[in-house]
Amino acid sequence: MAEMSVIVVGAGIIGLSVAYEALQSGAVVTIIDRDPEGDKASFGNAGGIAVTEVIPASVPGLWKKVPFWVLDPLGPLALRVRHMPHLFPWLWSFAKVGTASELRRISGALAQINSRVYDDLVPLFNKVGLANDLVRKGALTVYESESGLRRDRPEWDAKRAFGVETQELSASQVRDMEPALGPIVKNGVFMPQWSHVSDPKKVVDVLRNWLAANGAEIFSGQVDRLTPRTDGAAVTLDGGRTLWAEKIVIAAGAWSAQLARQLGDRVLLESERGYNTTIASPGVALEREVIFAERKFVATPLSIGLRIGGLAEFGGLRAAPNFRRSEALVTLAKLYLPGIKEEGGVAWSGHRPATPDSLPVIGRSGPSPHVIYAFGHGHLGLTQGPTTGKIVGDLLFGRQPCLNVECISVARFSQKGRRL
């Protein structure tokens, strides 16, 4: 039997993980990206393998906090006024899923995906030469007040109900683990299942190079048009060139909705821009990723320096980044890491592909079964990349998917029985 041909649009962590799986299953794989080696969300993220993150962004009562977050110049949320009319349908769905029953349903779906992460990620890392780039030392969430931890207890209880392991720590226990943290930290929660990578850009670079060396063709080009056919589907690049394959996978991150729309699939997908600063010689050392609960940012000790990141800015894909937000994150970090030196910090920003229900979109296009979607991973794309590859591999080859894909299908956005 002839080998199946597969085109993957997008060379971020999701597209590359899908390409890896397709190649492993014997497909002829072509990856198309407008800039395969260029900057993308998958390069500059916080590097966390955040398997314990099973609570969606929209939770009951969130709306009470939003005005305070938006008005605080160091707050975790930013909205660009000009983008608000476009954002409205997404926000409406986001609000709609902020109920107790939706929280349980969505958390269950996230827990289902995250419970598989190491089963898929570790073999991939071992195979491509990244075995030493996964740092399995857990992560620490820290609080600056007793009341902060008390307020979050229901969330920790919910996580534990989904199999997340946690260990509450006093201030001195926190500082035994991370001596660089200052007196502002009053207590914390250790999550042993979390891990981080040495450098997200290295992960993507190594994986892409491995794929190229093992038979995948990597093409530079902007996909402008997607055309379903009875025997597969075709993509047309910006120069007019057309490429056909039996199966096409759309893994174009925050840009994927535009392509899905061409096929008639409705998707609510927004850019949730995040920012960070990476300091090569920060003058302080952390052993593991630290999550600052009240201020909603993180610090990850990467091989290239300490990365301080966070923020959710909704301004669309075209708005220019506001790097004052990267600087604001360093200002916050100084409160917790008194010895930190900010000289030489490199600011970065990237587009998280965000859905209103915090679940990715993985599965076949409604109108075109030869097109498969793999996007919308929001805060968890690095974490869920290899598992997404596994699910898509199953769909490509007609195997029973390794987990229940109904809740992550594009059908949840469609008119019939619409949830979102």
Ligand X SMILES: Cc1cc2nc3c(=O)[nH]c(=O)nc-3n(C[C@H](O)[C@H](O)[C@H](O)COP(=O)(O)OP(=O)(O)OC[C@H]3O[C@@H](n4cnc5c(N)ncnc54)[C@H](O)[C@@H]3O)c2cc1C
Q: What is the DSSP letter of 277?
A: E
Q: What are residue 312's DSSP bridge partners?
A: 77
Residue 103 or 226 with smaller CB distance to ligand X: 226
* CA separation for the pair 334, 336 (Å, rounded): 5
- Count of other CB atoms within 10 angstroms of residue 146: 10
Show the tokens assigned to 78.
Answer: 């930013």
> In 3-state terms, what secondary structure has residue 232?
strand
Residue 180 or 380 with smaller CB distance to ligand X: 380
User: Which positions touch ligand X (CB under 6 A)?
Assistant: 9-15, 32-35, 40-42, 45-48, 50, 222-223, 251-255, 274, 276, 309, 350, 352-353, 375, 377-383
Smallest distance, ligand X to C-beta of residue 100, A: 26
Give the DSSP H or E segment for 386: helix 381-396
Q: What is the DSSP letter of 299?
A: E
- Alpha helices, H only, 144-199: 146-161, 171-177
Q: CA-based angle 115:109:297, to the nearest 5?
A: 75
Smallest distance, ligand X to C-beta of residue 127, A: 19
Smallest distance, ligand X to C-beta of residue 171, A: 25
Smallest distance, ligand X to C-beta of residue 51, A: 9
Smallest distance, ligand X to C-beta of residue 287, A: 17
> In 3-state terms, what secondary structure has residue 252?
coil
> In 3-state terms, what secondary structure has residue 85?
helix
Residue 47 or 345 with smaller CB distance to ligand X: 47
Residue 5 or 173 with smaller CB distance to ligand X: 5
Residue 366 or 378 with smaller CB distance to ligand X: 378
Give Dmax (Cα) for the chain: 66
Residues 6+ apart with CB under 8 A from 177: 140, 169, 190, 287, 288
Residue 182 or 192 with smaller CB distance to ligand X: 192
Smallest distance, ligand X to C-beta of residue 38, A: 6
Show the tokens assigned to 174.
Answer: 């926190």
Place of tokens 């971020």: 12
Smallest distance, ligand X to C-beta of residue 206, A: 15
Residue 87 or 237 with smaller CB distance to ligand X: 237
